[in-house]
A and B are shown apart, each in its own frame.
Chain A
Amino acid sequence: MLKTVVIVDDSKFLIRQIADFFREYLQFNVVAEGYDGEQAVNLYRQYQPDLITLDITMPKKDGKTALEEILKEFPKARVLMISAVKGPTMLECMSKGAQGFIEKPLKLTDEEFIKDIKMSVIEIFNMP
């Protein structure tokens, strides 16, 4: 059984890139894609995937709020933040319960960067 992932980002282009990466490099089953925070919460509720990736700056509901709502309803949800937002906001998301973070821009041709994503996903699934 492949692990399932829902990808949420307000850029369709980035969603495609992230989805391709999860399929090709990590052998995940990308079950759904969302473009804002509201969709993120709904999609999580609908699919209850093994992992959800969240952008922070998104229309309707930002990633931080979506994260809080998802964790409130599903305390065991695994969330990977993928955002260009740095500094205190990312720290807050991690403190609130996101298990990993990736900083944009996505340098998907950079080996170090690829290794970082892989390690982050491994870490998320190794956490108690």
Chain B
Amino acid sequence: MTSSIRVKLIRSNVLIISWVFIIVLLVISMVSFRANKKNLESTQEQIRNSLIAKGQTLVINNSMALRPMAGDNAILDVRGLVQATVEKDRDIVYGIYMQGNLKPWVIAKKDSLNIPISLTTALADSMSVWASMQMSPVFRACQYRGEEVLEFTSPVMSPDDGVLGFIRYGLTTRAMKVSLQDAQATAKKSLLHILLILAAVAVATLFAAFIAMHRQASRITRPIYSLVDSAKKIAGGDYSGAIQVDTNDEIGTLSRAFETMRQTVKNYTEHLQDLVDEKMQQVRDIMNNIDQGLFTINLDLGINPEYSLRANEILGFMDITQECLQNILRLSDREMESMHQWIKLIEVKHTTMRWQKLAMLAPVQEIEIKTNQQVRYVRINYQKILDKAGVLHKVMILAQDITQSRLIEARMEEERIRHENEVKTILGIVGNTPEVISDFIADTENRLSLMIPQIDALCLELEQYQQSQVDEDIFLQSREQISTLFRDLHTIKGNAGTYGFEILSLRAHESESLLEKLKTSDATQRPHSILMLQQNLKNMLSIVEDIKKQVRMLAGEQNDLVLHIARSRIEYVQNLCEELSHDNKIPASFKKLAYACQQINYKTVVQSTKKYKDLVKRVSDNLEKDAEFELLNPTLEIDPKSFEDIDEAIVHIMRNAIDHGIESSQERNSIGKGPGKICMDYQIIEDTRKITISDDGKGIEGNKLVERAMAKGILDPNVAALMTDHEKCQLIFMQGLSTANHLSTLSGRGLGMDIARDVITKLQGNITVDSQPGKGTTFTILVPNLPRLAMHG
């Protein structure tokens, strides 16, 4: 179809040229035919005239020549002359001499010269009669043997003008006709020739014309085709391509008009797209919500009777039309007020502002619906409904249950945290020695397993207490217990933080806060808090379980083997040796062996305190401080259990020293102190272990502690007035006297020192602190040495 214009153009042009040629050929043939005919006619005339002239001359000459012969009755001479004449001239078909009485003397014919004719019988045919009546030479056409013959006759006169006889000759027109035919044939031939040449020219011209036309047609039609292509695109809905035809003929004009039209249509369709999108969004909202909650409200917030059944289900009512909007959307009084305000606003603004923006201002976008143990989330969308005059008269409310997607989001977030935690856990495990991690796990598990039953018991107690409806606060009685729980949590929090188990540390921190709430907040919050606490502790236990799994995964079973089997066996052997050493009967060498066995697992102080070295590094990194760990007698060999019972105290003291003692790097640099130092010394003096931990930080401001203690009402101002600086420093061991301005996951609740003192006191030991403001703080711990004889021996 696309080629039809070109083909049509070529076809019609070729047709025109063909017709012109046919007409030219016809005209040429006709003209030449006519010319030929005329030519032939005049030729015929000429030949006839010359034949007539010849015949007449012949009969006149003969009549003259015959006169004497006829007068002398010389028949034979006459006969001879006539016969010779007939014979001589091929045009003459016969010759007759007859007397005036029509009696012939001679009848000579071309083909029968010798045939005698009766000379006595007068000729009676019409020609002879006609001839006998002529008095001068004449001629007349007649038929002789089927062909046209001109008979010339002339009387032969006597000298006295009497008629002696008539000489007659018949001249045939055959030769004339033959030459005429020849002329005709020649003329035909030349006409044919011309026609052939013309035909050839015609074919050549047509061919050339076709090629020229083809080119021309292509050139003319190319812009048309590109226009057609553009039109097709536009018909297909694509208005993007600009039409580029740069000819300045009609097609160019058409193209420009077309381009203008395209742009107009494009602009229109784009705008249309926006409109359609907007409408579609509305329709989609409706369609999406047919299956979901849909109802409409009037501008006075009354519920209209039309609504989708799903609305009841989603919003949790038997029939929402029986409810008021405030109940349906769970609006507070204030939100209800806002709703009225919003309706007033949209009434005015809906014509000039985008609905999407106005909808954002609606007082409720999402509601949480709590049914027994289940929480559902419902998103609320709004659509305006206009009446025919374009005035807002209703608002459609679409309620969509998005609990599923919320749950999925929550699960994904959980998953993300879990994954992050896993990575952190692995980093914590990898960053510490297996022994340290193992100790940490055992310690944490132990503490948690002691805490959980206590909390469970508290929970039960609380229930009973509530049932009995006694107004007395049981938590006043269980304060001591709560303090212990608090300490355990604090230790777990600190340890977990130190080893990089952030989630565990965070949970411990949350649990601390919950415990605090239990102590302080009003009674109505308690059941919730304690349930949360229960949950949190279980959560922590499972986190520890996870850490254990990770440890096993990373270290394999080998870790457990070394710790449990080797240690107990060694202890068993050591106990045997211990008993043996008391037996006086055995030789001294055996005693030596027993003594060596007892010390078989002794380690240097460097080895035994690696944990504290790591702790200093980790805590200072965490706090972005610069602190180094130093040992005074690193090579002393000691029982690896030397620090086990006082570990908690040491950890708290060290953490406290870095957090509160050591200044920030900037501060230290500005006062020329250089990197901080945490210095540790371990000595055994008789039956006592003496451990000192000192830092070169800012020291303890005794007066600040006094102020706090007085503010808290745990120190009598009169007593305070008499206190020495050393005594003032000892206040640091009192509960809740943290001087830190912030709470961190490491310390800050003012518990660490309290715990440290507690641990030491329980071991029948003693802890003191000395401090020089600006120079540093030294803690000195004195605890009994490890029992010589293992308890379970």
Residue A126 is within 8 A (CB to CB) of chain B in the complex: yes
Hey, which chain B residues are within 8 Å of A90, CB to CB? 361
Residue B784 is within 8 A (CB to CB) of chain A in the complex: no
**Which chain A residues have a beta carbon within 8 Å of chain B's beta carbons?**
87-88, 90-92, 94-95, 100-101, 103, 116, 119-120, 123, 126-128
Residue B792 is within 8 A (CB to CB) of chain A in the complex: no
CA distance A1 to B509 in the complex (A): 61
B341 engages A123 (CB within 8 Å): no
CA distance A92 to B360 in the complex (A): 13
CA distance A91 to B363 in the complex (A): 8
CA distance A119 to B349 in the complex (A): 14
A127 engages B361 (CB within 8 Å): no
Hey, which chain B residues are within 8 Å of A119, CB to CB? 354
| Interface SS majority for chain A | helix
CA distance A105 to B9 in the complex (A): 68
Residue B483 is within 8 A (CB to CB) of chain A in the complex: no
How far apart are A81's CB and chain B's nearest CB, in angstroms?
Answer: 11
Can you report 10 A-B residue pairs in the complex whose CB atoms are below 8 A from each other?
Answer: A88-B335, A88-B338, A88-B363, A90-B361, A91-B345, A91-B363, A94-B361, A95-B344, A123-B353, A126-B352
Hey, which chain B residues are within 8 Å of A116, CB to CB? 357
Instruction: Identify which of A92, A101, A103, A126 contacts B341 (C-beta below 8 A).
Output: A92
Hey, which chain B residues are within 8 Å of A101, CB to CB? 357, 361
How far apart are A123's CB and chain B's nearest CB, in angstroms?
Answer: 5
How far apart are A25's CB and chain B's nearest CB, in angstroms?
Answer: 18
Residue B334 is within 8 A (CB to CB) of chain A in the complex: yes
**Nearest neighbor of B356 in chain A, beta-carbon distance:** A116
Instruction: Identify which of B341, B342, B352, B354 contacts A128 (C-beta below 8 A).
Output: B352
Instruction: Identify which of A88, A123, A127 contacts B354 (C-beta below 8 A).
Output: A123
Interface flags for B356-372 (1: CB within 8 Å of A; 0: not) read 01001101000000000
CA distance A47 to B334 in the complex (A): 37
**Nearest neighbor of A86 in chain B, beta-carbon distance:** B360
**Nearest neighbor of B338 in chain A, beta-carbon distance:** A88
Q: Which of B352-401 contact A (CB under 8 A)?
A: 352-354, 357, 360-361, 363
B342 engages A91 (CB within 8 Å): yes
How far apart are B343's CB and chain A's nearest CB, in angstroms?
Answer: 10
Which residue of A87, A119, A126 has the most chain B CB atoms within 10 A of its CB atom? A87
Instruction: Identify which of A87, A94, A103, A127 contacts B352 (C-beta below 8 A).
Output: A127
CA distance A116 to B342 in the complex (A): 20
Hey, which chain B residues are within 8 Å of A88, CB to CB? 334-335, 338, 363
**Nearest neighbor of B364 in chain A, beta-carbon distance:** A87
Hey, which chain A residues are within 8 Å of B360, CB to CB? 103
CA distance A57 to B740 in the complex (A): 32
Hey, which chain A residues are within 8 Å of B345, CB to CB? 91, 94-95
Which residue of A90, A94, A120, A127 has the most chain B CB atoms within 10 A of its CB atom? A94
CA distance A65 to B353 in the complex (A): 23
CA distance A127 to B354 in the complex (A): 12
**Nearest neighbor of A103 in chain B, beta-carbon distance:** B360
CA distance A87 to B433 in the complex (A): 53
Hey, which chain A residues are within 8 Å of B342, CB to CB? 91
Hey, which chain A residues are within 8 Å of B363, CB to CB? 87-88, 91
Known: A100-B357, A103-B360. 19 other contacts (CB 8 A): A87-B338, A88-B334, A88-B335, A88-B363, A91-B338, A91-B342, A91-B363, A94-B345, A95-B341, A95-B344, A95-B345, A100-B353, A101-B357, A119-B354, A120-B357, A123-B352, A123-B353, A123-B354, A127-B352
CA distance A90 to B345 in the complex (A): 12
A91 engages B361 (CB within 8 Å): yes
